[in-house]
């Protein structure tokens, strides 16, 4: 059996399941490294499933961006492409606790950096975007910087006072084109659907999504800083999306994922 703790994203998912068991969307995960592995699991993942390429912790950071669409016919191509770039790569297959949606129907994405006793930094992207843009530094639509001592008092009603950045209309227009291109050409979604789903102008996330993020992610991990530090995470991030009107974290980021 493949050890998930040897892989960056897989380890982040295992940490998520440990520290946020009530909010993790993942019901089960399999790791495959070959077409033979896929054939053995084909029936289990015959419908929609989340797919992510992963690498051993400490490998050089890949230059390739892998678009995934949740469709089973995408998996053989994903395995082949990943193996060409890095023979040690694997593909994570995941089923969620609830029915999910395609990436163009996401409510948005988030990345939260915890620097205990100093600051919490929240970065967001809006509707039809997701954590992909935040992870790769391709887009940020809003950024909030909150002093550690004030974190537990933040709500959707006062969070605007901590906002340090909001995307300008012209910058959003550029990012929208890049997002549409990614969804169509990398994720193989239908162009007509994608063009309709990605908003023409940026729309701030609703207050109830912000409150959900604070209540279920930020406050929870704020209170577990000592436990995370014992695992070597003096600083830590959690990344994810907003789906079907609620927060959906995908991993607690592993700082040493890539080689220096």
Distances (CA, A) of 80 to 74, 109, 126, 195: 10, 28, 32, 29
Q: Is the Cβ–Cβ distance between 79 and 45 less than 8 Å?
A: no
Residues 197 and 228 in one domain: yes
Residues 214 and 116 in one domain: yes
User: pLDDT at residue 68 above 80?
Assistant: no
Structural domain of residue 12, as residue ranges?
4-96
Residues 140 and 237 in one domain: yes
Residues 188 and 79 in one domain: no
Residues 234 and 166 in one domain: yes
Residues 202 and 183 in one domain: yes
CATH of the domain at 153: 3.30.470
Residue 157 lies in a domain: yes
What is the per-residue pLDDT for 259? 66
Q: Which of 46, 65, 96 is the last residue of a domain?
A: 96
Between 49 and 43, name the one with better pLDDT: 43
pLDDT tier at 258, thresholds 50, 70, 90: confident
Residue 117 lies in a domain: yes
Q: Which of 96, 125, 146 is the last residue of a domain?
A: 96
Between 132 and 139, name the one with better pLDDT: 139
Residues 71 and 18 in one domain: yes
What is the per-residue pLDDT for 203? 92
Residue 205 lies in a domain: yes
What is the per-residue pLDDT for 1? 65
Interval 141-163 mean pLDDT: 97
Residue 17 lies in a domain: yes
pLDDT tier at 48, thresholds 50, 70, 90: confident
What is the per-residue pLDDT for 260? 54
Residues 89 and 38 in one domain: yes
Average pLDDT, the chain: 91
Q: Which of 32, 65, 96 is the last residue of a domain?
A: 96
Residue 193 lies in a domain: yes
Residue 177 lies in a domain: yes
Between 258 and 7, name the one with better pLDDT: 7
**What pLDDT digit, counting tens, does each position of 80-117 carry?**
888 888 899 999 999 888 877 889 999 999 999 999 99
Residues 130 and 200 in one domain: yes
- Percent of the chain exceeding pLDDT 70 equals 98
Distances (CA, A) of 85 to 54, 60, 131: 12, 11, 23
**What pLDDT digit, counting tens, does each position of 199-256 carry?**
999 999 999 999 999 999 999 999 999 999 998 888 999 999 999 999 999 999 877 7
What is the per-residue pLDDT for 256? 75
Alpha-carbon span 8 to 10, nearest angstrom: 6
Residues 140 and 245 in one domain: yes
What is the per-residue pLDDT for 51? 86
What is the per-residue pLDDT for 109? 97
- Say which range, 124-128, 195-199, 234-238, has the weakest mean pLDDT: 234-238
pTM equals 0.86
| CA atoms lying within 13 Å on the CB side of residue 218 | 30
Q: How many domains does the chain have?
A: 2
What is the per-residue pLDDT for 24? 93
Residue 259 lies in a domain: no
Residues 192 and 115 in one domain: yes
What is the per-residue pLDDT for 188? 87
Residue 258 lies in a domain: no
Residues 143 and 210 in one domain: yes
Q: Is the Cβ–Cβ distance between 233 and 243 less than 8 Å?
A: no
């Amino acid at each position: 059996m493949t050890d998930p703790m040897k892989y960056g994203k897989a380890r982040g998912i295992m940490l998520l399941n440990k520290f946020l068991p009530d909010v993790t969307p993942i019901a089960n995960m399999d790791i495959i490294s070959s077409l033979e592995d896929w054939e053995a699991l084909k029936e289990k993942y015959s419908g929609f499933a989340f797919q992510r390429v992963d690498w051993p912790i400490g490998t050089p950071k890949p230059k390739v961006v892998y678009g995934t669409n949740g469709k089973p016919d995408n998996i053989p191509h994903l395995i082949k492409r990943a193996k060409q770039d890095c023979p040690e790569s694997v593909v994570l297959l995941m089923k969620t606790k609830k029915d999910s949606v395609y990436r163009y129907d996401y409510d948005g994405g988030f990345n939260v950096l915890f620097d205990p006793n100093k600051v919490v930094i929240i970065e967001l992207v809006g509707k039809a975007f997701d954590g992909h843009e935040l992870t790769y530094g391709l887009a940020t639509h809003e950024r909030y910087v909150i002093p550690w001592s004030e974190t537990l008092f933040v709500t959707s009603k006062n969070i605007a006072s901590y906002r340090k950045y909001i995307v300008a209309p012209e910058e959003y227009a550029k990012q929208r084109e890049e997002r549409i291109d990614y969804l169509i050409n990398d994720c193989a979604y239908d162009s007509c659907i994608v063009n309709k789903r990605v908003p023409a102008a940026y729309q701030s996330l609703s207050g109830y999504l912000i409150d959900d993020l604070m209540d279920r992610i930020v406050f929870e991990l704020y209170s577990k800083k000592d436990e995370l530090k014992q695992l070597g995470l003096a600083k830590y991030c959690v990344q994810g999306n907003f789906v079907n009107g609620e927060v959906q974290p995908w991993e607690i980021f592993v700082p040493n994922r890539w080689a220096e």
